A and B are shown apart, each in its own frame.
Chain A
């Protein structure tokens, strides 16, 4: 009997496959394609204290094996989420995690406090790594001190599982990971998008309205894998790996590198049902290698 269940702090995941924030909407957009409740968890779109219109169009540039986006945290704000969106998500029999973002520490705390009241939301993912907003976002995630201060403040206000999503746009990601662990994070997820750029040579103009944007997709996988490997060695809290995962093999690689769970992001755009295929593929892998329990595979890389 194959056991795919993993644990992230107090979260029981029926399998290690989650969806990455910003790539899976609120889950509802994917109801036609899969049974969302079969997933280990979903991380819904970033929620901020106030409504945000996001950046101007164009927000998307296709790149080799990936894409750049500069959506800029478009969302209707935490109050709208609590009143209108949350009731629609209680139908899911899986961990619904809310990605929490803002531009000030007070803003992060306000959102965390309001989400803390929602019975069916067992955890939040603190987004200190969005590269597409002028203030806040990545500014908090690229300095150990800033990262620690926002995590400490949110930790006080938030009683359930606190995951912190790390930025890869740093010199040493393990330092930031250790800083947020010491500040009270229950888990870290990595990586958010890499800051990148696309240029239209014919028009001599940047493709994105914001000039730079966040790179995601298979193109970033080797960097993500390396960072997950480094961070899982540096911290004691469970690591959630993401960055270009598109297949079960990709997911297994992240687990071998040290990830307890993984998130599927951009691949959802190419195949909306890819997450279910990844779950089945992981089970097949365990069967093939005669491993009964997925936890035996976490960090099992042989060097």
Chain B
């Protein structure tokens, strides 16, 4: 099993990695369908070790109506080239301004932030992404692959345009698609996909990122089969470093900051994410036969 160097160095917790503020150069701003785009950013120095699921806080310049930084998951990392990518959907003021950024401009970012996904040595893992929520799952899939674990990937969206970067996922692992309008892959939600309905029990761990309703459905199905499920939460943030306490989520241990205690949580620790065991078999996505 080939374990990436940084895991050996830092173990499963990367708390010792120093957070930095850096100006990164925009090498490319590439539209990838829908309102999604990918920013390829280059550093002049070595990148800090990052863990899949971690994020960065991007300062949005030239937009007086955008005051706070914007948090984005790390989409992929190339330590040798000193580059990283962000997959972003232009959906609000900040992301729309960022979608117009051009090659050669600089972006001020604070990173790496948050806890990231916990990595497993289990051979069978399922990654479930929805819309541009797939962003951190590419980095996760790449890292798992480097560790010798080939994940199974399932991505979903309303329509084909909501499935950005499919080719990148297919290069790494078996990737399944569900669209609500049936324009790509199976018609329906990810939780209605054949892989999810018939093979979920094969997996030892599930990682998911996307709309909250989707993640909740995925997490509850996993919980019903006693499979640990890690979910990457989204939240509006101010500081991103656990100082302002604005981005809290309700957990079994009270309010926790999504920026520092997350963004990745074990779904079993989140309030309102659990299933009532007795009624689990009536859930539509649990195989009952």
A: which residues have CB within 8 A of B?
22-25, 29-30, 32-33, 45, 53-54, 56-60, 62-67, 69, 71, 74, 217-218, 266, 268-273
Contact = CB atoms under 8 A, between A and B. Distances in A.
Contact of B67 (A25, A32, A65, A272): A65
Contacts of A218: 67
Given A58-B236, A270-B69, 14 more contacts: A23-B244, A25-B243, A29-B242, A29-B260, A32-B19, A33-B21, A57-B249, A64-B64, A64-B65, A67-B67, A268-B243, A269-B68, A270-B68, A272-B110
Contacts of B260: 29
Contacts of A65: 64, 67
Interface of B: 18-21, 59, 64-69, 110, 235-250, 254-255, 260
Nearest to B94: A62
Given A60-B238, A269-B238, A69 B18 contact: no
B54 to A, nearest CB: 14
Given A65-B64, A67-B238, A269-B69, A32 B59 contact: no
Contacts of B244: 22-23, 60, 69, 71, 269
Contacts of A23: 239, 243-244
Nearest to B108: A271
Contacts of A66: 67
B245 A54 contact: yes
B14 to A, nearest CB: 13
List the 9 closest A-B pairs by CB distance, nearest first: A25-B243, A60-B246, A269-B239, A32-B19, A269-B238, A29-B243, A59-B246, A32-B18, A71-B245
Contacts of A69: 238, 244, 246
Contact of A217 (B21, B59, B67, B237): B67
A45 B242 CA distance: 12
A292 to B, nearest CB: 32
Contacts of A273: 21
A25 B255 contact: no
A268 B239 contact: yes
Contacts of A266: 238
A66 B64 CA distance: 10
A63 B64 CA distance: 10
Contacts of A64: 64-65, 67
Nearest to B259: A29
A25 B257 CA distance: 12
Residue with the highest number of chain A CB atoms closer than 10 Å, among B66, B237, B245, B260: B245
A67 B68 contact: yes
Nearest to A73: B245
Given A58-B236, A62-B236, A74 B67 contact: no
B21 A272 contact: yes
B241 A271 contact: no
A230 B250 CA distance: 43
A60 B59 contact: no
A82 to B, nearest CB: 20
A74 B255 contact: yes
Contacts of A74: 245, 248, 255
Nearest to A69: B246
5 contacts: A25-B243, A57-B247, A67-B238, A269-B240, A270-B59
A274 to B, nearest CB: 10
Contacts of B59: 270-271
Nearest to B250: A57
B232 to A, nearest CB: 17
Given A62-B68, A64-B67, A271 B246 contact: no
B247 A60 contact: yes
Nearest to B240: A269
A33 B67 CA distance: 20
A270 B59 CA distance: 7
A270 B110 CA distance: 10
Contacts of B66: 62
Given A32-B19, A33-B19, A60 B236 contact: yes
Nearest to A24: B243
A65 B64 CA distance: 7
Nearest to B66: A62
Given A23-B243, A74-B248, A269-B239, A53 B254 contact: yes
A53 B255 contact: yes
B57 to A, nearest CB: 9
Contacts of B254: 53
A22 B244 CA distance: 6
A57 B248 contact: yes
Contact of A271 (B18, B19, B21, B255): B21
